[in-house]
Amino acid sequence: MKDFYIADAAQHENAVITSYFLLSQISARDKKGGGGQYLALTLADKTGTFEARMWEDFAKALTTCSQGCYVKAMGRIDKYQGRFQITLQQMRSAADSEIDVSDFQPATQYDVDTLWAELNRFVDGFTNPHLKQLVRSFLDDPDLGPAFRSAPAAKMLHHAWIGGLLEHVVFLLRLCGRVAPQYAEEVDPDLLMTAAILHDFGKVRELAWKTSFSYTTEGQLLGHITIVIGMLRERIAALPEFPDRLRILVEHLILSHHGRYEYGSPKLPMTPEALVFSALDDLEAKMQNMRAEFSKAVEAGKKPDEVTEFSRSMERALLNSRAYLANE
């Protein structure tokens, strides 16, 4: 039974704990200045991840514990460069009977059925029958639909939890619904919302999330944009009346949604819908990252109105302005 969670590390600083973890990464590294090797690990549970080090007597652990397995570990919690980590004394592979998978899968805080119903209401509101039929071919697929409901939106960055992809898409649809009327002369709302629903659909095949969040072989070799373009063309081929110009616009929305070449976008946004959508997608992802960083800072012992530690995902430190003003 797991009784320690990574999010509670601040309450156990300098204490020795024993608990179960998901082993996300493991490798033997050379010690600086020679003198042998040490074991570098990343441990995870549903509340987060932290780094671990094992400095001696790790030969058995290295041979019996592999990436993606569950382990039982004992070690001391301490802080290094402002982040909590654990120095391990013992670690072994955990038996299936010792593990409750719900302890290790971070999940959306929102009710999935409610999110799914809201998504479907947006689709029901489409006025373009071709786009509605296309989106339905994805959502109503007996394999893709359930996968879309449970998939994370990323391995480590924004919405990296069970149901994260659905949560991200619904939040995007809300933004699209508010922004499209502002640019009604230029922006087709159904096209914009189609992009919101389909842009990351390839992640249901790019990512694996049964035990830990990782990339599939297909995901590593192709990436979610290439994957979803293939899925899109397959479904449009089964819709003989789908207009070819509309297909081109939908494909462009997906190919350009990362916004910039250096962000992995094969194309820059060239249509009004593509420009608006890439901006909204970036905004929604970054706002979620910011919320997560504020939560992490408080869990690590900082006051809500203090500047956070440097955030790797945001490439800067952050400040919760509402909390800052509230405590003036």
Domain at 41, CATH number = 2.40.50.140
Question: Is 303 within the bounds of a domain?
Answer: no
Per-residue pLDDT of the chain (328 residues; tens, 9 = 90+): 688 999 899 999 999 999 999 898 899 999 887 778 999 999 988 888 889 999 988 888 888 898 888 999 999 999 988 889 999 999 999 988 888 777 887 788 899 999 999 999 999 999 999 999 999 999 999 999 999 998 988 776 677 778 999 999 999 999 999 999 999 999 999 999 999 999 999 999 998 877 667 889 999 999 999 999 999 999 999 999 999 999 999 999 999 999 899 888 899 999 999 999 999 999 999 999 899 899 888 888 899 999 999 988 888 999 999 999 998 7
- Do 214 and 155 contact (CB within 8 A), yes or no? yes
For the chain, where are the E strands, in sequence order? Answer: 16-30, 37-45, 48-54, 70-80, 83-93, 207-208, 214-215
Question: Is 116 within the bounds of a domain?
Answer: yes
**Number of domains forming the structure of the chain:** 2
Nearest to 25 by CA among 44, 8, 6, 9: 44
What is the Cα–Cα distance from 59 to 326, expressed in whole angstroms?
52
Answer yes or no: do 136 and 268 share one domain. yes
Answer yes or no: do 98 and 37 share one domain. yes
| Residue-number span of the structural domain to which 206 is assigned | 112-288
